[in-house]
Chains A and B, each alone.
Chain A
Amino acid sequence: MQYKYKIAGGDFANAGTVASSVKKTLRQLNIDHSISKRVVIALYEGEVNVVAHAYSGIIDVEIENGRIRILISDRGPGIPDIPKAMEEGYSTASPQVREMGFGAGMGLSNMKKNSDIMNITSTPGEGTAVELITYLEPNE
């Protein structure tokens, strides 16, 4: 099964609608609760990142072959130093993002924690792509 969603950068009011919709889908598919919770949290962090930092983004969700694969790709400023961005506490978020309760520099590390595999590629000035893979059976 494949789903595609568009996100507008700066659209704070709708930040989380994709994660909410995916959460409902995973529930309908009877995906194990602890697995779906991890997937949804990682996706929500990623969605907030796109709204907070990028101009626009696309989220592709693919549920097949025993795994959930999420690809979050955006057009935006990119991440010049990915290891630095992965450090807990490092953030380039705007005051507006901080007012939302985010921007403490924990998003990427929380996404990594809540997925089995995370890959980030980024081109400064063009955008960022984050791939999140989570297996439906533990230890697969």
Chain B
Amino acid sequence: MTISEVAERTNGRIVCCGNNTEAEIEYAFSSDLMSDVLKVEKENVLLITGLTNLQAVRTSEMSEINCIVFARNKKIGSEIISLAKETGITLIESPYSVFRISGELYKAGIKPLF
């Protein structure tokens, strides 16, 4: 599934850095705990989180996650957006809960990490 399809299925809005919207996503991981996100070893992974701070983007950079879906209609601040631009990570705002985003993407064939 491409990043633009992820946005569509989660009723989301791509907030920034729309230059890799055709990149393929194979797996997703839902977490607000960044230490767990740092254990992600696979590639083409999407992060689903309710944690809207710089560390969500920093941690994704380190774990080589190139797309984050922020749940529950959380608004993403300008500092977060500029860090995402710098690191080439696509940010999506979704009005759905983490549970629903996970369910919609799972149903559409996105795989869990474990």
A: residues with CB less than 8 A from B are 12-13, 15-16, 19-20, 23, 37, 40-41, 44-45, 48, 99-102, 104, 106-107, 110
Q: How far is the CA of A48 from the CA of B35 in the complex (A)?
A: 10
Contact pattern, B 50-68, Cβ under 8 Å of A = 1, otherwise 0: 0101111011011110000
Dominant SS at the A interface?
helix
Beta-carbon contact of B87 and A102 below 8 Å:
no
Which residues of chain A have C-beta atoms less than 8 A from B51's C-beta?
A: 101
Beta-carbon contact of B87 and A107 below 8 Å:
no
Query: Of B39, B55, B64, which is within 8 A of A102 by CB?
Result: B55
Q: A13-B54, A13-B79, A15-B55 are in contact. Are A110 and B63 (CB under 8 A)?
A: no
Q: How far is the CA of A52 from the CA of B34 in the complex (A)?
A: 14
Among residues of A, the one whose C-beta sits closest to the C-beta of B62 is: A44
Shortest A41–chain B CB gap in Å is 5
Which residues of chain A have C-beta atoms less than 8 A from B32's C-beta?
A: 101
Dominant SS at the B interface?
helix
Q: How far is the CA of A15 from the CA of B51 in the complex (A)?
A: 16
Q: How far is the CA of A37 from the CA of B64 in the complex (A)?
A: 8
Which residues of chain B have C-beta atoms less than 8 A from A104's C-beta?
A: 33, 35-36
- B38 near A: Cβ within 8 Å? yes
Beta-carbon contact of B38 and A100 below 8 Å:
no
Which residues of chain B have C-beta atoms less than 8 A from A101's C-beta?
A: 32-35, 37, 51, 53, 55-56, 59
Which residues 11-64 of B have a CB within 8 angstroms of A? 32-39, 51, 53-56, 58-59, 61-64
Among residues of B, the one whose C-beta sits closest to the C-beta of A13 is: B54
